[in-house]
Amino acid sequence: MEPVETIIVEQTQLACDGGVGALGHPRVFLNMEGKGYVDCPYCGRHYVLKPGAKASHGH
């Protein structure tokens, strides 16, 4: 099994679709407020908030 991909992001709210086009997964919206990281429940990608990045605000 391949290691889980870690992606550094600058926002606490993001969306993941697996990143492989038609072979990906349904888009899921993720929120890492208060944690600094979040894992996608479909593909397991590990998203980490970049040090010094500010929390994003919804509408």
Contact predicate 41/16, CB 8 Å: no
Using 50, 70 and 90 to split pLDDT, how confident is the model at 57? Answer: low
Residues sharing a CB contact under 8 Å with residue 50, sequence separation 6 or more, in sequence order:
8, 9, 10
Nearest residue to 9 via CA among 48, 38, 43: 48
Give one DSSP letter per residue of 10-59, joined into a string.
Answer: S-SEEEE--SSGGGS---EEEE-TTTSEEE-TTT--EEEEPTTPPPP---
* Amino acid making up residue 37: Y
Read off the pLDDT of residues 26-56 as tens digits, 9 standing for 90 and up: 999 999 988 899 999 999 999 999 998 876 6
pTM: 0.81
What the chain holds in terms of domains, given with CATH numbers, is: 6-49 (2.60.260.40)
